[in-house]
Amino acid sequence: MSKPDNLDAIFIALSDPTRRAILARLIEGEASVMELAAPFAMSQPAISKHIKMLERAGLVSRRRDAQRRPVKIEGPALKAATDWLESYRKVWEQNYARLDALLNDLQRAGESPKN
């Protein structure tokens, strides 16, 4: 199973609860760094570092809007991670289906009538 080139960066970015919370907020729409920093007990520079990590992973982008630099979520990187995980889910489902079939066969063999 192939993986996108930036998959490691995506999962590293997603490994932090603060960055996941930032992404959850950005699902509602773009926001400024100050708006993203508001619910956290950390400085704006610390939040900016988290945003840069998300940006390097391709999970968010920033644009210039006059003096604001709103941050918005980017779907393609998250889709790449989801697609990669989905391929493994399918493999495990197939493995579990084979195991279920084997267990059913063994159970039926054990239930054969006794003379």
pLDDT digit string (tens) for 67-109? 788 999 998 998 989 999 998 888 888 889 899 888 988 888 8
- Alpha carbon separation from 115 to 107, 111, 112 (Å, rounded): 18, 12, 10
Return the structure tokens found at 58.
């391709």
- Per the CB < 8 A criterion, the answer to whether 54 and 72 are in contact is no
- Per the CB < 8 A criterion, the answer to whether 4 and 51 are in contact is no
Identify the three-state secondary structure at position 65: strand
Identify the three-state secondary structure at position 31: strand
Which domains, and CATH codes, for the chain?
A: 7-110 (1.10.10.10)
Mean pLDDT of 40-53: 93
To which H or E segment does residue 62 belong? strand 60-62
pLDDT at 66 over 80: no
To which H or E segment does residue 73 belong? strand 71-73
